[in-house]
Amino acid sequence: MIPRTMYTVYVTIHVIPEHVDAFCAATEDNHRNTRLEAGNLRFDVLRDNDDPNCFYLYEVYQNEDAFRGHQQTEHYHRWRETVADMMATPRSACKATSIYPEPWA
């Protein structure tokens, strides 16, 4: 059995207001294509309830290798380049591993 460690990334992105629509379109493309990756388990695109210019990406991969593979994809590079100038501040990410639910269960 291939070990599944549930490698997770929670990205926080503050978008310049006039770029919000274009950011959402680019992120939908990244979301949709990432969900087709064999090693991707989840990709939630979230909008802050109080700040409509603040977005979060919650991404779950089977393991770190699957995440590194994602970073090599054409759709990830396309997203990164497209949104680079849309951010009000550099994006930040929390990288973590699931302990519950037990990923090996």
List contacts with a copy of itself (CB under 8 A). 6-8, 10, 12, 24, 27-28, 31-32, 35, 43-50, 56, 58, 60, 94-101
Taking the complex as a whole, the smallest distance from the CB of residue 55 to a copy of itself amounts, in Å, to: 8
Taking the complex as a whole, the smallest distance from the CB of residue 13 to a copy of itself amounts, in Å, to: 12
Taking the complex as a whole, the smallest distance from the CB of residue 31 to a copy of itself amounts, in Å, to: 5
Q: Note whether 9 and 71 are within 8 A (CB).
A: no
Sign of the CA dihedral with 100 first, then 98, 41, and 82 last = positive
Helix (H, G, I), strand (E, B) or coil at 81: helix
Q: Note whether 40 and 68 are within 8 A (CB).
A: no
16/41 with CB nearer a copy of itself: 41
